[in-house]
Amino acid sequence: MHAIAYPRLRCGKHQLDLTHAHIMGILNVTPDSFSDGGRYSLLERALLRAHEMVDAGASIIDIGGESTRPGAERVSAQQELDRVAPLIELLTAERDVIVSVDTSTPVVIRESARLGAGLINDVRALQRDGALDAVAATRLPVCLMHMRGEPQTMQDAPHYHDIAAEVSAFLQERIAACAQVGITAERILLDPGFGFAKNTQHNYELFKRLPELLTLQRPLLVGVSRKSMVGNILQQPVGQRLSGSLALAVMALERGAKILRVHDVAETMDVLKIFNAVQDAGKE
């Protein structure tokens, strides 16, 4: 396995041991996310789902208040904050778990940190005005994801000459932008952005070449759970993509991923346990 430069990630009051892989449970509190839109928009349901995922083994719960599925409409900062803030506050009070917030919005970044979030997960890689300074001020770690354009337009004929090289170059540029405002390398995770401004062929070539991104010396977060890259191969709707998602989870771990962002926490934990058993076989 590829050694990483900084084996521990400080996430607020928590420390994430990156010498082994972790599960991040997806919790969208939006009415229009691609997989579970509206299912957890009520606070009580969302909190119950968070508890279920923690009990199933998730190290991180990733709360999102703005859908970033292809074609999604942008929401106001206040709408996003109203959706995520009550859940962050309750979950951090009730469970000893890292709460990640899936946001690009500076005011949401700052308020989430104040309420106890331990990680910022930004699909726009801190390119929204004020986002770099907001994360720098929180002193929290951040996950930078590759995407071109915005969710409304990102699937309009995406094109790459060398997808792994271009994704790597983009992420390197965003790491450099972070450094300029004092966000140091040990605070950064990287997400290749499967399904974001990429067609099925792009997604699978990039997935195959994931080890090339390890040269950036930052932990990789991989999110492919239930995505169209699975559905397009299996010809299955969202609710029947578990087996394909688990197959990719195994291959992501083999290619060096340290965090798997998933909907199906219990099933992916089984995969991770078996993977770890193989990795640890024969050790004293």
CATH number at residue 49: 3.20.20.20
For residue 247, being part of any structural domain is answered with: yes
Query: Is 3 among the domain residues?
Result: no
The residue annotated as part of the active site, out of 83, 110, 227, 255, is 227
Residue 124 structural domain? 8-280
Give helix 106-115 / helix 77-94 axis angle, nearest 10°.
20
pLDDT digit string, tens, across residues 36-54? 555 656 899 999 999 999 9
- Catalytic, 227? Answer yes
Q: What is the pLDDT of residue 6?
A: 75
The tens digit of pLDDT for each residue in 227-241 reads 999 999 999 999 999
1 compared with 210, residue with greater pLDDT = 210
Write down the pTM of the prediction. 0.93
Does the residue 63 lie in any domain? yes
Q: What share of the chain in percent tops pLDDT 90?
A: 83
pLDDT of residue 40: 56
b/e per residue 57-88 (b: at least 16 CB within 10 A): bbbbbbbbbbbbbbebeebebeebbebbbebb
Band of pLDDT at residue 31, cut at 50, 70 and 90:
confident
Q: What is the per-residue pLDDT for 5?
A: 66
In a domain, 1, yes or no: no
User: Taking residues 211-222, what's their average pLDDT?
Assistant: 97
pLDDT tens digits for 111-132? 999 999 999 999 999 999 999 9
Q: Give the pLDDT band of residue 219 (cuts 50, 70, 90).
A: very high
Query: Looking at residue 74, what is its pLDDT?
Result: 78
Residue 2 lies in a domain: no
- Is residue 57 in some structural domain? yes
Q: Model confidence over 136-155: pLDDT tens digits?
A: 999 999 999 999 876 666 56
pLDDT of residue 33: 52
Specify the pLDDT at position 10: 97
Structure tokens at 130: 């004020």
In a domain, 166, yes or no: yes
Q: What does pLDDT average to over the chain? A: 92
Q: What percent of the chain has pLDDT over 70?
A: 90
Residue 61 lies in a domain: yes
Catalytic residue among 69, 83, 124, 261: 261
Specify whether 261 is catalytic.
Answer: yes
> Packing angle between helix 200-208 and helix 163-180, nearest 10 degrees?
70
The whole-number average pLDDT for the span 201-216 is: 97
Residue 1 pLDDT class (50, 70, 90 cuts):
very low
What is the number of domains present in the chain? 1
State residue 104's pLDDT score.
Answer: 96
pLDDT at site 67: 79
- pLDDT band at residue 201 using 50, 70 and 90 as cut-offs: very high
